[in-house]
Structure 1
């Protein structure tokens, strides 16, 4: 189970952006300007909505792995999960930055 501070840390890292929180994806999802950016999952991972074109580059980084929905079912190329251990120090802000950089056309 994730430490209870991950959602608090995500809130703080998102700063004064217009956010809304929704319970989904096994944790607390953070919407920025009504678009899904990240979810602090109950298993300790941070789920991120990313640019599919950057997927391979981001997957090669320490702590990153394919986001799964259930047993062995990929969420697709626009999703990535990051282990809690990779979110220490500046890690959380860096990973959230990748998600914030990506915006799907409304």
Structure 2
């Protein structure tokens, strides 16, 4: 049996390709960290601050992210369907949420790394 084909840029269905292009266009130039994932159905998996889960789940098109058919990923993950991404403003809003969470996490990790280096035996 042949190996499955790898999915990469330019492959996938039209909804996925269209959203991936919009995401690339909307992200800041030179941004090289994956903060969202475009689903095969044209939905968007967004990493969020778990403390904002209840607030963000109320937005149009937002629902708890699932792993597989029925296994919740937890309050730090939201899936947004195409109806919640129908304008560039809505897409930008979700990207801002993801970028803010990434920046806060990176700052925490940076502070943690500095304190670990200071306390390491030398």
TM-score of the superposed pair, with normalisation by structure 1? 0.79
Correspondence 1:15 to 2:21: no
Structure 1 residue matching 2:35: 3-state secondary structure: strand
Between the aligned partners of 1:48 and 1:55, the Cα distance in structure 2 is 11
Of the structure 1 ranges 95-104 and 64-73, higher mean CA displacement relative to structure 2 is found in 95-104
Matched positions, count: 91
Q: Deviations over 1:59-94 (max 9, x none)?
A: 011110000000110111110010112112211001
Q: Which has the higher strand share?
A: 1
Which structure has the larger Rg? 2
- Segments of structure 2 that go 5 or more residues without pairing to the other structure are 1-12, 110-122
Cα root mean square deviation, aligned? 1.4
Other-structure match for 2:64: 66
Structure 1 residue matching 2:71: 3-state secondary structure: coil
Structure 1 residue matching 2:36: 3-state secondary structure: strand
> CA 1:2–1:51 in 2, change beyond 3 Å: closer, same or farther?
farther
Between the aligned partners of 2:31 and 2:61, the Cα distance in structure 1 is 28
TM-score of the superposed pair, with normalisation by structure 2? 0.69
- Segments of structure 1 that go 5 or more residues without pairing to the other structure are 20-31
Is the 8 Å Cα contact of residues 60 and 83 (structure 2) preserved in structure 1?
A: no
Runs of 4+ off more than 3 Å: none
Between the aligned partners of 1:96 and 1:39, the Cα distance in structure 2 is 11
Q: Which has the higher helix share?
A: 2
